[in-house]
Chains A and B, each alone.
Chain A
């Protein structure tokens, strides 16, 4: 089993943040975020690493990490597409975007494209209802989308790899 350690930069950030809370327990989510920022997902090794840091049993870290949908417990593609499927986006055409992604990139929710470039997740309300239909690529919001504007975004992603 490979081990996980924070990079120097992440460790510095961890030490900066821990001072902000009265109890290190509060560092659970920030610590998991730092892991995900570092390697793109939260691996079992990283959970053990955090458990040791926070003096918790590893299962508790897993229990928390698996509760929150934004933590990827498996590695995902380079460009993570999060497509909002909740009501306002549905009314404004998120289902068309979903089938367009299937037709053009060839992936359905939960799948990674064969080249490893794209991963699609259908998410619940992103708070972009006024700009529906919306999706986020690697956390950046794109609103009032049409199939054409989506094609352009995908092309940009492909060119920057």
Chain B
């Protein structure tokens, strides 16, 4: 079931050190890379159908083409390692076990876009992991892999780790750049036409860690080799994470198109003794919840998930068992969003706080059925009326829980 493209070296002892990494083919693509024309690299990545692994699933190749050509300004690659979506802990594995794969990916991507400065934005809590990436970068500088001349080629590249400080919203790419510019992490207004991002007014591309780590395989083996895995519209693999009361929680690399229940039953080892599946949040907490019946037929690729009214997100699956009270689950999630809302847009700032208060009342025994209508109403006000997709995500998850587990809310009302 597993296909190891990004996670190939994860099980090798000391794979994070340059010595072991190089023995296991890290940086072996660089010589081939420099025989290619940068535009051809972009074209190959576009043909591979590589999609952003940070949650949105936007195609990576077209995104790179938004970078202006022959622009006199310096351009930047910003690698998004903010990874704060509840249920998601996949980029952390790349930082821990194969930081040199990430550096290799940054070299490939930077060469393709003509970039000479890259930043890796890592969430503040991941101190151990940012130190590890820092150490790998240090090793790479010393070995002449990055710096003035990338492995002896006429191309310079600097990589810097930038630590966040505990703000979920900085995973949103424009908020991340605001944060990198030393400001509060407030998402920016988006232009009507698609374009690149801007770091101090200079062109920049923001890509997820796993996306960048998938690039060396495509450069080395070509787009067809990548397309050999996964489905037609969701090619390749993804690091799927599983958490909750299953026997073997963890991160597993799978090709797109695997049946969700097979993944849970085999690699996940099934539910823990005495636990029964009740629901599952498929791709980090911002994706609409699935009931146990929906899980039976769910397939892990973008299109199949959209077809059943959810999204694949970051692939961080949260398994919920029968013993969980869904009102408490909803309350827990809304507390998260209430805490993490950046406060810029009123519907989001007030909406998350309002639903949090309502659910608090419900759990304290003073709720009634009209509360559910209020919650759905507030969700309607949040959806699509804010600068970023934070509020629509809150709206999606809360609406799905209220609609699919309405009976549990009613039970809660009747407890008093």
Q: What's the least CB distance linking B207 to chain A, in Å? A: 19
| One of B117, B126, B200, B249 near A129 (C-beta < 8 A) | B249
* Interface contact A87-B333, CB-CB below 8 Å: yes
* Interface contact A132-B182, CB-CB below 8 Å: no
* Interface contact A127-B88, CB-CB below 8 Å: yes
A-B Cβ contacts below 8 A, count:
144
* Interface contact A129-B181, CB-CB below 8 Å: no
Q: Bound complex: CA of A130 vs CA of B162, how far in Å? A: 25
Take A70-B124, A140-B128 as given contacts and tell me if A130 and B164 are in contact as well, using a CB distance cutoff of 8 Å.
Answer: no
Which residues on A sit within 8 Å (CB–CB) of B163?
29-30, 33
A150 within 8 A of B: no
B1 within 8 A of A: no
Which residues on B sit within 8 Å (CB–CB) of A45?
none
Q: Interface residues of A: mostly helix, strand, loop or mixed?
A: mixed
Q: What's the least CB distance linking A18 to chain B, in Å? A: 11
* Interface contact B182-A90, CB-CB below 8 Å: no
B244 within 8 A of A: yes
Q: Which chain A residue shows the least CB distance to B88?
A: A127
Take A68-B165, A130-B241 as given contacts and tell me if A20 and B160 are in contact as well, using a CB distance cutoff of 8 Å.
Answer: yes
Identify which of residues 32-71 in chain A touch chain B, using a CB-to-CB cut-off of 8 Å: 32-33, 54, 63-64, 67-71
B149 within 8 A of A: no
Which residues on B sit within 8 Å (CB–CB) of A131?
249
Most A-side CB within 10 Å, residue of B181, B324, B332: B332
* Interface contact B182-A25, CB-CB below 8 Å: yes
A-B complex: 5 closest residue pairs judged by Cβ atoms: A28-B182, A68-B165, A70-B166, A129-B243, A69-B166
Question: Which residue numbers of B lie inside 8 Å of A, CB to CB?
Answer: 74, 83-89, 92, 117, 123-128, 158, 160, 162-168, 179-185, 199-200, 202, 241-245, 249-251, 281, 285, 316, 318, 320-321, 324, 328-329, 332-333, 335-336, 339-340, 342
